[in-house]
Structure 1
Amino acid sequence: MLSIAMPTPASDPEIETAPDDEALVRAAIAGDVQAYASIYRRHAPRLYAVVWRICGRHAARAEDVLQDTFLKAWRSLPGFRFESALGTWLQRLAVNTALMELRARSGRDDLDAGDDGLDALAAVEGEQRCTGTGLDLERAVATLPPRARAVLVLHDIEGWKHHEIAEELGMAVGSSKAQLHRARGLLRERLGETA
Structure 2
Amino acid sequence: MTCTFEGDDGVQPAGLDRAASGGDVALVRRAADGDARAFETLYRSHVGRIYGLCVRLVDGDRVKAEQYTQDAFVRAWEKLGSFRGESEFSTWLHRLTVNLVLGEHRLLRRWVSFEDTAGDADGDQGLAAPGDCPQQRAGDRIDVERALAKLPKGARAVLILHDVEGYRHDEIAGLTGIAVGTSKAQLHRARKLMKEWLS
Which TM-score bucket, shorter chain as reference? 0.7 to 0.9
Distance 1:113 1:62 in 2: 26
Secondary structure of the residue aligned to 2:189 is helix
Is 1:86 matched up with 2:89?
yes
Is 1:44 matched up with 2:47?
yes
| Displacement after TM superposition at 1:45 (Å) | 0.6
Identity of matched residues, %: 48
Compare 47-56 and 147-156 and name the one that shifted more: 47-56
| Displacement after TM superposition at 1:108 (Å) | 4.5
Q: 1:60 aligns with which of 63, 74, 77?
A: 63
* C-alpha distance 63-84 of structure 1, shift in aligned 2 (>3 A): same
| Displacement after TM superposition at 1:72 (Å) | 0.9
Given that residues 65 and 101 in structure 1 are in contact (C-alpha distance below 8 angstroms), is that contact kept between their aligned partners in structure 2?
no
Is 1:110 matched up with 2:117?
no
Is 1:158 matched up with 2:161?
no
* TM-score normalised by length of structure 2: 0.71
| Displacement after TM superposition at 1:170 (Å) | 0.5
Secondary structure of the residue aligned to 2:110 is helix
Cα RMSD, aligned residues only? 2.4
Give CA deviations for 1:131-190 in whole Å, capped at 9, x if unaligned: x72221122112211111110011111221111111111111110011111211221232
Distance 1:142 1:64 in 2: 19
Q: Corresponding residue for 1:23? A: 26
* TM-score normalised by length of structure 1: 0.73
Larger radius of gyration: 1
Q: 2:147 aligns with which of 132, 140, 147?
A: 140
Partner amino acid, structure 1, of 2:35:
D
Distance 1:174 1:149 in 2: 16
Runs of at least 5 residues in structure 2 that lack an aligned partner in the other structure: 1-18, 115-138
Q: After the TM superposition, which residues 163-174 of structure 1 pair with which residues of structure 2 at under 5 Å, given as runs?
A: 163-174=170-181
Given that residues 151 and 176 in structure 1 are in contact (C-alpha distance below 8 angstroms), is that contact kept between their aligned partners in structure 2?
yes
Given that residues 57 and 139 in structure 1 are in contact (C-alpha distance below 8 angstroms), is that contact kept between their aligned partners in structure 2?
no
Distance 1:90 1:108 in 2: 20
Given that residues 155 and 190 in structure 2 are in contact (C-alpha distance below 8 angstroms), is that contact kept between their aligned partners in structure 1?
yes
Which segments of structure 1 move beyond 4 Å, counting only runs of 4 or more? none
Distance 2:101 2:113 in 1: 18
Runs of at least 5 residues in structure 1 that lack an aligned partner in the other structure: 1-14, 115-131
Given that residues 73 and 93 in structure 1 are in contact (C-alpha distance below 8 angstroms), is that contact kept between their aligned partners in structure 2?
yes
Distance 2:146 2:113 in 1: 19
Q: Corresponding residue for 1:177? A: 184
